[in-house]
Structure 1
Amino acid sequence: MYGPLPLTQQQFTFFSELLESKAGIVLPVDEINMMENRLKQRLVQLKLNSYAEYEQYLQQDLSPLEMREFINTFTTNETEFFRERCHFEQLRSAICALQTDSVSIWSAGCSSGEEVYSLAIACENLQLQGQDFHYQILGTDIDAQCLSSASQGIYQKEQLHKVSRMDKHKYFCQKGTRNGEEYVVSKELRRFVKFRAHNLIDYKDHLPIDFNFIFLCNVLYSFSKQSAAKIVKTLVDRLMPGGLLFVGLAETLQDLNLGLVQVGSSVYQKRAE
């Protein structure tokens, strides 16, 4: 059985422009082979014979379902528990310094939930140490499959290698499976966590609250410089005065004039009004 003809430059242009217009994700021209390999999976699942047929399928699809699948094909979902230790240390210090008993945190681009549950563990442990505050954490992502995995909160043993033995015992239920050990997030850790779909370039999708802390780690590199700047501005608008915005250690916001002051490794504070 022969596979589809190779993706043409014209087809690459169509799909890449569609991806940028719908999700803000930019693919360099040298990623044509990557696009071809990923779209080939959609062709198999839809029983289509060519990329031209898939292009026509997307143009004729009146529902948003296949467009979501198309976008999900290109989202990058690399994440882990407590990915940037320095960020969590700064978060703990900042929460302790807050003059409030209510803390709101947004994990924008939360992928499969590891960052969200890491934030919840940090908050729970602070409460056990005597800090008196209530917290709520919102995790958002454009990828519906990732959000489903995050809501289930089921992780393999190797995914928890940065979680301490004590925290595993407190916040996860261990169970054995044919594929090895799985850990399920406890009900206690889920109490103040919510997940919802959110497209970072859907600037009209306003969230109902402002946040003390926003995590946007290792996300901006997927976007054009113009889109990234607009995304950051939108998030800063949702950040309380004095609040902190965390980005990936390889990312910088120094070129953006958005009223932010760098206060740590890839950590920026919104100026107080």
Structure 2
Amino acid sequence: MKAFRNRFRHYAKCEGRFVQTKSCGQYKIADKEFGQLKTLIKELTGINLTEQKKMLIVARLSKRLRVLGLSSFAQYYELLTETGNSSEIIHLINRITTNKTDFFRESHHFDFLKEVVLPRFYEEGMKNGRRKLRIWSAGCSSGEEPYTIAMTLQEFFHDKTGWDVKILATDLDTEILAKARNGVYSQDIVAPIPSACLRENFKKGVGANNGLFMVKDKLKRMILFKRHNLTSEEFLLNEQIDIVFCRNVIIYFDEATKTRVINHFHDALRDDGILFLGHSESVIANDGRFKLIGNSTFCKTAP
């Protein structure tokens, strides 16, 4: 009976799964195995893992090893490198990516967008007839950034007709993208949204979503969510982008990868297009192809 109780406690702690290979504690990882995973993750995502991140990675991946019934990180690496095992690669990426975000995070960017950037593009469009705006939220996480952009656009364009405005929102993590598409958030998550803006763009959930806030369809229709690796050469649109938001993403890359990603943004942006970076990301401060026009806000210079 005592043995059964001990096994039941083990089952409960391990979230409802009887596991044979490991207790609920973390696995150990040898330097060789960490080096192999570090190299693989760098190749897949561009993220540069330092030695200080070792225990964080072990903590995030131990649960996955238990689910798979594996006894070591060596076995996990073998599984990851098997030919055609793309599904487990996606699981790996989903667990090592960082998804910290908020509505109206670094709110000065959205003030600048509404008060400076959008009026400029609007004036240009009224003169040249290009009444179209394309914005890319790169590394969109669980959707707070692109929905904040959409709310800002709604406020600016509410009395302006004839404009085609779309947002491309991309991330590498498939699970977090599903959450973004769903657009359902708790009270504490939507707290930064001004009350009038919240009423205009969200509805209160019912049933399974009781107590939650759901993004209204009019906002969702403005956004296309897609999986995309920032370090890849793939372009997701066949037209140039007017504005790119990529905030607090490239800080996880090494210098060579940062440069490659910035090159992608440069190629994607139209001349005089706008790039918003995170407050601690000064990678293009000395890049002559961009000029600083606001707080961590850059304009692509014409050739």
What does 1:122-137 correspond to in 2, within 5 Å?
Answer: 122-130=152-160, 133-137=163-167
8 Å contact kept, 2:136–2:169 = yes
Higher strand proportion, which one?
1
**2:266 corresponds to:** 236
Unaligned runs of 5+ in 1: none
**2:61 corresponds to:** 39
CA distance in 2, matches of 1:127, 1:205: 27
Does residue 59 in structure 1 map to residue 89 in structure 2? no
The one-letter amino acid of 1:121's match is M
TM-score, structure 2 length as denominator? 0.85
Does residue 193 in structure 1 map to residue 223 in structure 2? yes
8 Å contact kept, 2:243–2:275 = yes
Greater CA drift, 97-106 or 202-211: 202-211
8 Å contact kept, 2:258–2:283 = no
What does 1:1-273 correspond to in 2, within 5 Å?
Answer: 2=23, 5-60=27-82, 62-92=84-114, 93-98=116-121, 99-100=124-125, 101-130=131-160, 133-176=163-206, 181-273=211-303
Deviation at 1:5, TM superposition (A): 5.0
Deviations 1:222-259 (Å, cap 9, x if unpaired)?
10111011101111111111111000011113455351
CA distance in 1, matches of 2:27, 2:296: 44
Secondary structure at the aligned position of 1:103 is classed as strand
CA distance in 2, matches of 1:5, 1:244: 45
- Structure 1 pair 195/78, CA: closer, same or farther in 2 (3 Å)? same
**2:13 corresponds to:** none
- Structure 1 pair 5/120, CA: closer, same or farther in 2 (3 Å)? closer
8 Å contact kept, 1:198–1:205 = no
Deviations 1:93-136 (Å, cap 9, x if unpaired)?
21112211211100000001110010110011112254763310
Cα RMSD over matched residues?
A: 1.8
- Structure 1 pair 129/86, CA: closer, same or farther in 2 (3 Å)? farther
8 Å contact kept, 1:211–1:238 = yes
Report % sequence identity.
28
Deviation at 1:181, TM superposition (A): 1.8
- Structure 1 pair 258/206, CA: closer, same or farther in 2 (3 Å)? farther
TM-score, structure 1 length as denominator? 0.94
Deviations 1:133-157 (Å, cap 9, x if unpaired)?
3310000000001111111111111
- Structure 1 pair 233/47, CA: closer, same or farther in 2 (3 Å)? same
Query: Which structure: larger Rg?
Result: 2
Deviations 1:161-187 (Å, cap 9, x if unpaired)?
111111111111102567862111101
Secondary structure at the aligned position of 1:26 is classed as coil
Greater CA drift, 3-12 or 83-92: 3-12
Greater CA drift, 101-110 or 177-186: 177-186
